[in-house]
Amino acid sequence: MTLPKKLLPIALIAALIGGMTPRSQAQKLIKDLYVDKEWSADYQPFRIAGNLYYIGTYDLGMFLITTPKGHILINTGVAGSDTLIKAHMKTLGFKFKDIRILLTTHAHYDHVGAMAAVKQQTHAKMMVNEKDAALLADGGNSDYVMGGKGSMFLPVKADRLLHDGDSIQLGGMKIVMRQHPGHTPGANSFLFDVKDAVRTYKVLIANIPSILNDTKLSGMPLYPEVGKDYAYTLKAMKALKFDLWLAPHAGQYELHKKHQPGDAYNPAAFSDRAGYDDVLDEWQQIYDKRVKEE
């Protein structure tokens, strides 16, 4: 499998774009923020399995979990993606205003860039790993690699802080948060069951532990235990059990080899355990090499 785009030089990622702010927030954002064209390229939304839907872009995963009591949205993509989210939900027959809970795999601008806009328009509750709450609240300025230059996205205040093993419940759904630190201190994955007329599937939204080029695994000033956390995460993720898996970036789980616009409903396409293990093995090799080089 190809390596995720998180291997892009950090100098490129740190070449930072401004965004429009809601009237209620005069937050000034850093200009020239790097945005890959695939992060905002449209992609036809589709049903993954049961009440789980893909409503993201060509590369950025945004996952909608629907329930009779409202919906749960995991990740919002870059700033301005709220318009795309609305359109995709409408296409699938769901209402944007019915989003009740907002979650994220980690608080980087390519996954929470539109979080403030979605929260403001829907009044959904933002729930985040406690270790990423400060990062979310300062718009990414405290990021241990890219931070210190100002906000990269509109800040969002959490309504609930999550801890490893906590569950998020709505309308019969139960989502368990598993802490997988390293990419950010509060990076996490989600495990939950969905079902269709045939069977029940245990789904993993996996926060792949990619390592940015400027990360020093021996320790960063704002994150001394980063190397230890990556080691924990790589081990913990290998032990997870699931039926289907997805990730924040399409390239991380080869979405476009598994699904093309117009394809029939096929949950089994995402049951690629071998691919999951390969991705983790690749990052383990990178981790081991980086540790030796340092």
> Which CATH number belongs to the domain containing residue 223 in this structure?
3.60.15.10
Please tell me the predicted confidence (pLDDT) of residue 12. Answer: 34
Phi then psi for residue 260, to 5 deg, are -120, 150
Residues 8, 253, 163, 127: is their CA dihedral positive or negative?
A: positive
Please tell me the predicted confidence (pLDDT) of residue 13. Answer: 36
Contact 209, 226 (CB under 8 A): no
Please tell me the predicted confidence (pLDDT) of residue 27. Answer: 53
pLDDT digits (tens, 9 = 90+) for 42-88: 999 999 999 999 999 999 999 999 999 999 999 999 999 999 999 99
**Could you give the CA distance from residue 86 to residue 150 in angstroms, rounded to a whole number?**
29
Q: The pTM is what?
A: 0.91
Give 274's contacts (C-beta < 8 A, 6+ positions apart).
none
Contact 113, 156 (CB under 8 A): no
pLDDT digits (tens, 9 = 90+) for 109-143: 999 999 999 999 999 999 999 999 999 999 999 99
* Domain that residue 134 falls in: 5-293
How does residue 224 score in pLDDT terms, banded at 50, 70 and 90? very high
Contact 204, 246 (CB under 8 A): yes
Give the total number of structural domains in the chain. 1
**Could you give the CA distance from residue 241 to residue 238 in angstroms, rounded to a whole number?**
9
Please tell me the predicted confidence (pLDDT) of residue 28. Answer: 74
How does residue 17 score in pLDDT terms, banded at 50, 70 and 90? very low
Encoded amino acid at 65, one letter: I
**Could you give the CA distance from residue 62 to residue 73 in angstroms, rounded to a whole number?**
7
Please tell me the predicted confidence (pLDDT) of residue 25. Answer: 42
Q: Where are the beta strands (DSSP E) in 124-205?
A: 125-129, 160-162, 167-170, 173-179, 188-195, 200-205
Q: Give the strand order in the sheet containing 173-179.
A: 167-170, 173-179, 188-195, 200-205, 244-246
Encoded amino acid at 281, one letter: D
Please tell me the predicted confidence (pLDDT) of residue 23. Answer: 34
Contact 190, 103 (CB under 8 A): yes
Please tell me the predicted confidence (pLDDT) of residue 32. Answer: 84
**Could you give the CA distance from residue 190 to residue 153 in angstroms, rounded to a whole number?**
23
